[in-house]
Structures are given as structure tokens and as C-alpha cells.
Amino acid sequence: MQSQGSQSQQNVHTTTLARAKTEILRVIEILIEKMPSDVVDLLVEVMDIIMYCIEGSLVKKKGLSECFPAICRFYMVAYCDRSYRIAVGARQGSVALYDVRTGKCQHIHGHKGPITAVSFAPDGRYLATYSNADSHISFWQMNTSLLGSIGMLNSAPQLRCIKTYQVPPVQPASPGSQNALKLARLIWTSNRNVILMAHDGKEHRFMV
């Protein structure tokens, strides 16, 4: 009886949380709007909550920018509509890679400081990550072997760093954490070429 009671109580909590998904997402939207500098410190945890609240099939169908545009304002967040994966840069220098079909997440440890920007190549084969703190941009290749290819067996892709370049650090326009959120972004011009665009318009071009 005690076991059944605790199970029933757990089900009530789970049901209540499920019903509150819309409200939870609205609160996150408000936090992003009002306190973006605080949200960025917990960006991976925030994405964990978003992934719980939004159906993966909906993200797969419509894309992250349509399902939850607020999170896409951060240059540390990117979605690939070819592999159905979301990359989120963390303050610790790691990148969380989510599979929207399974909800699973793996972590890549590639930088020695907070991630400034992440971006997938148009064909989904490469992921670029940039940290202004350690002044490096890295390129990660998705494993495209028979069993580990994008989308095969719903397995987590094996990523390997294929190139790393040192980049002069970008100086913020003025002191303040708000400016630090928009230091630089990554723009792919083709499946193998990317531009690191600083807030002041300066460009650094790279080829995978």
C-alpha cells in the first residue's frame, strides 16, 4: 500500500508538471527577455527544460526557431534541420549536443573557456565552435560511417575535432555582460567555409 501511495503521488507530480509545460516555457521566455546574462550561465540546463516541454517531433517538423524562437537569440545555440540536432555552448567550455528525436544528449569538451558561438554547416556534417576566452575556433566532424551516420539507428553521432585555429580575441564594444553575449557569431557561406563575424564587423574566414 505504501508503495502504491508513493507511486500515485509521483504520478500526480509528473502529471502536474506535464500540464504546466506551456507556463514553464512562458517563464523561460520572460527570463531570456529580462535576464539574458543570467540565463546564459545556465544555458544547457535551460535547454534541458525546453527539450522536456516541447515535443521532439514538433521541433523536427518546424525547427527550433519556430518552436521556441527566444532561445535562438543566443549565438551559443544552433539547430541542424538535416540531422535534427541542437548544439548548446556552455560556460565551462563544453558543448551539449541534443538529438531531438530521442531526447538524448552528449557533451563535447573542446574549449578552455565559455563558448561564444556554435553553428552547424548547411549539410550537417560539421559543427563549428568558438570561444573568445581561449581564442580558438574548432571544427567537429560528424561520423558518417554506415552505422554511425547521421540519423542511423538513432545513435549518438561520434564527433571528432578535425581542425582548430587560433583567433585574435574580440574586444567588447563596452564593459558589461550584455555586450559579451553578442561578441561574435559564426556564418557558414558553404558546406566547408565559415566566417567568424565580430560585433564590430571584422571578419575571419576559415575553411574546414
pLDDT tens digits for 153-194? Answer: 445 556 899 999 999 989 887 665 556 788 999 999 999 999
pLDDT at 71: 96
Dihedral through CA 30, CA 35, CA 37, CA 41, nearest 10?
A: -70
Whose cell is 567588447? That residue is 172
Span 12-42, pLDDT tens digits: 556 776 789 999 999 999 999 999 999 999 9
Beta-bridge partner residues of 204: 196
DSSP 204: E
| Domain definitions of the chain by residue range | 10-207
- 101-121 burial string, b = 16+ CB within 10 Å, else e? eeeebeebebbeebbbbbbbb
- How are beta strands 85-89 and 203-207 bridged, if at all? unpaired
DSSP, collapsed to helix, strand or coil, labels residue 120 as strand
Span 51-71, pLDDT tens digits: 999 998 999 999 999 999 999
Span 72-117, pLDDT tens digits: 999 999 999 999 999 999 999 999 999 999 889 999 898 999 999 9
